[in-house]
């Protein structure tokens, strides 16, 4: 993506330095799953070797020699001065990457604002007739590190990116992008943009009245029925992300050859079947909440190829 130099959204709330306690106390409680949409089961672990590894990673980011944490002593006669010399380039590189990633997120969010301000009023009625002419309201995107509070309850790194209808905000721990690249094998900046576009798709659903209707109906559903309905909600958000990409490619110069393929690869890698097979070794279709890899790719392509919200009616589609 050629994203440098484009407008950055001002609707960014940066809580990365809040120590995991930033934001509102949250109105609904009970965890993000009571009302949030789009979270992925990252499962980073909570102790033992995992804790040691995380501690060492944190030490490395802060410029501390990890060996001193393990041994409790300095390493080598001149280790202190050597450490300072070695740490500075690493710290500068880490800070630069942190700033670049934050700017990238702000640029992508800014483009979703520009696109949806045009798309929603013109096309809302094609999908939801009573919502014809709906104007797009810009959501806030919250960047956090480790944990934070949301209107849907407490969020942490294991939650994955999600949208909270209770406060109208998108939440993302930017460390997820490392997971996307290494664990899910979905590298590339447009794959990262797809993640944001999917969550913004949930915000669009909220404005169209789709999420409130789903939440109301879900209270009367069995778990199996709720899972099936959730898949339709998530696939529609994928389709909306494709609609955004359609207009981003048409009206911007930052999409390059191969970018759309990155998004399709990401959609494939974070399908329920792909994640379950990786984590469990087997697949349980009745437990799907986001859709299979094939479904996620197909619905993103549906939105991208058509550029029409009317093509994204997953609730009336004869098959997903």
Instruction: Give mean pLDDT, residues 47-66.
Output: 37
Contact, 164 vs 38, CB < 8 A? no
List the single range of 64-68, 176-180, 301-305 with lowest mean pLDDT. Answer: 64-68
d(CA 53, CA 4): 34
What DSSP letter does each residue of 223-259 carry, written as one string? HHHHHHHHHHHHHHHHHHHHHHHHHHHHH-S---TTH
pLDDT one-digit tens code per residue, 260-280: 888 888 878 877 777 776 676
Q: Is the pLDDT of residue 313 over 70?
A: yes
Per-residue pLDDT at 26 exceeds 70: no
Query: Please, which residues have CB within 8 angstroms of residue 61's CB and are 6 or more apart in sequence?
Result: 94
For residues 94 and 307, the model is more confident at 307
Structure tokens at 51: 């804790």
């Amino acid at each position: 993506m050629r994203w440098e130099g484009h407008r950055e959204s001002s609707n960014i709330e940066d809580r990365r330095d809040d120590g995991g306690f930033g934001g509102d106390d949250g109105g609904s409680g009970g965890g993000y799953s009571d009302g949030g949409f789009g979270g992925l089961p990252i499962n980073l672990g909570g102790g033992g070797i995992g804790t040691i590894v995380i501690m060492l990673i944190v030490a490395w980011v802060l410029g501390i020699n990890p060996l001193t944490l393990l041994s409790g002593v300095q390493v080598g006669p001149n280790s202190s001065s050597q450490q300072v010399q070695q740490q500075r380039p690493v710290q500068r590189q880490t800070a630069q990457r942190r700033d670049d990633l934050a700017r990238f997120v702000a640029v992508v969010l800014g483009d979703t604002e520009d696109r949806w301000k045009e798309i929603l009023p013109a096309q809302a009625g094609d999908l939801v007739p009573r919502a014809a002419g709906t104007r797009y309201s810009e959501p806030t995107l919250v960047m956090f590190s480790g944990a934070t509070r949301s209107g849907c309850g407490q969020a942490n790194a294991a939650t994955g990116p999600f949208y909270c209808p209770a406060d109208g905000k998108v939440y993302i721990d930017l460390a997820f992008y490392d997971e996307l690249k290494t664990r899910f094998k979905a590298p590339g900046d447009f794959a990262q943009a797809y993640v944001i576009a999917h969550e913004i798709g949930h915000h669009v659903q909220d404005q169209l009245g789709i999420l409130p209707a789903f939440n109301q109906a879900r209270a009367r559903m069995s778990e199996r029925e709720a899972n099936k309905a959730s898949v339709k909600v998530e696939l529609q958000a994928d389709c909306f992300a494709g609609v955004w990409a359609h207009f981003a490619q048409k009206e911007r110069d930052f999409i390059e050859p191969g970018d759309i393929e990155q998004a399709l690869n990401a959609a494939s890698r974070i399908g329920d079947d792909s994640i379950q097979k990786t984590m469990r070794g087997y697949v349980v279709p009745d437990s799907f909440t986001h859709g299979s890899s094939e479904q996620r790719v197909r619905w993103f392509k549906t939105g991208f190829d058509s550029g029409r919200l009317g093509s994204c009616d997953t609730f009336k589609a004869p098959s997903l």
